Amino acid sequence: MSALETRTRTWLEEAGFAVRDEALWVEALTHGSTGERRDYQRLEFLGDRVLGLAISEWLYESGTDDEGKLAQRLNALVSKGACASVARGLGASGHVILGKQARDDGAANSENVLGDIMESLLGAQFRETGYDAARDMVRKLWSKAVDSQAGRAKHPKSALQEWAAGNRRKPPRYELVDRSGPDHAATFTIRVSVNAVGEAEATANSKQEAETLAAKAFMEKFG
């Protein structure tokens, strides 16, 4: 595995990450397309749990919302899109280590890749400094998202589910219509339908996001 580039180490340190073991940070930024034995997947797994706990703790401390509202906000704040947004704000796309084909395909700007990278960086921070420092990093990077209304509005899929029940219809049915592109930059088209009402479609970089957009489109059309 190659050494951490000086410009990348500078970028990480300026962002607030504690870089001690350079190999760990190379791993955190290395996509599977490189063919390296160690890529970011294991650190992504770890960082996902660190992020979930840090945000859960933060939301619990910051108000009196019930469990349902806390879960709704948590899901929005730790989503792939939210992680990718934070990564873009940091300028992570310029430091992702990719194989040639993935690089040519634009994987450095993919929501899936950037979301994964953000989680892997948090995993590396946790390994270097422990939970408290990793939690502080989350609070720094997610401060605008938590202060905003992210996750406060009812999720489109929940809204559609309740709408269908309220109109005495069967639950919405989600169907994968199309999947295209390489694994690191795949796009998914989802169709949602409610019996005897209609259907709507949407395309996104993950099935979850495509389902959300399809539900939103359905409600805008029929709700």
User: Looking at 116, 119, 209, 211, which residue is catalytic?
Assistant: 119
Residue closest to 21 by CA, chosen among 145, 111, 128: 128
| Cβ neighbourhood burial of 108 (10 Å; 0-12, 13-18, 19+) | buried
How far is 217 from 23, CA to CA, in rounded Å? 45
The token pair that represents 96 in the structure block: 């992702």
Active site residue 48: yes
Active site residue 119: yes
173-180 and 198-204 beta bridge pairing:
unpaired
User: Looking at 48, 111, 116, 209, which residue is catalytic?
Assistant: 48
Q: Which helix (H) or strand (E) holds 72?
A: helix 67-77
Residues noted as catalytic: 48, 119
